[in-house]
Amino acid sequence: MIDIEAVMADFAVRQAERQTQVVEEIQQLKTVILPRLQEAGIARVEIRFDGCGDSGAIEECVCLDAAGAAMACPDVTLQVGEAHTTDGAGSEQLPSLGQALEQLTYLALERHHPGWEINDGACGELVIDVAEATFVLDCSLRFTATDDHSTEL
């Protein structure tokens, strides 16, 4: 017989561990990403996402210089010890700067808006101001509402 209380307690422990891991990964990525953006002369990054119906994705990642002109995201690979990802087989890979920006966005959504891709979903953007070293996640949560009335005549 399944002990539902034990299952729920185990789930709560694993969720807390995951949240701690996500916070640590976000901090690590922020620390790694900022210098790379500064070196490339990028002043601002806008990473747009959209999701609904149990699916969601990064739609666009725009890098801007100090004058606000769009520029390509540098094709640089992060160094050993900076950040890493694990592929499906469990082997570590060094991400590119673009991959690290996407990973940061997905982690921020997981941390602050879990389920952003479910049902009506959500859209928004993560904005990085390089000079100010700020990371702001703007998220618009969508929902369907009804206004029901019943009147006996």
Is residue 150 situated within a structural domain?
Answer: no
Is residue 146 situated within a structural domain?
Answer: no
Is residue 87 situated within a structural domain?
Answer: yes
Count of structural domains within the chain: 1
> Are residues 61 and 98 in contact, defined by beta-carbon separation less than 8 angstroms?
yes
Is residue 92 situated within a structural domain?
Answer: yes
Is residue 125 situated within a structural domain?
Answer: yes
Is residue 9 situated within a structural domain?
Answer: yes
pLDDT given for residue 81 in this prediction: 59
Question: For each of the chain's 153 residues, which pLDDT tens digit applies?
Answer: 889 999 999 999 999 999 999 999 999 999 999 999 999 999 999 999 999 999 999 999 999 999 999 999 999 888 755 554 444 444 456 789 999 999 999 999 999 999 999 999 999 999 999 999 999 999 999 999 999 999 999
pLDDT given for residue 107 in this prediction: 97
Provide the residue range defining the domain that includes 31.
4-141
pLDDT given for residue 83 in this prediction: 55
**Distance in angstroms (rounded) separating the CA atoms of residues 105 and 108:** 5
Is residue 153 situated within a structural domain?
Answer: no
Name, in order, each residue with C-beta under 8 angstroms of 137's C-beta and a sequence gap of 6 or more: 105, 108, 109, 112, 113, 124, 125, 126
Is residue 68 situated within a structural domain?
Answer: yes
pTM: 0.85
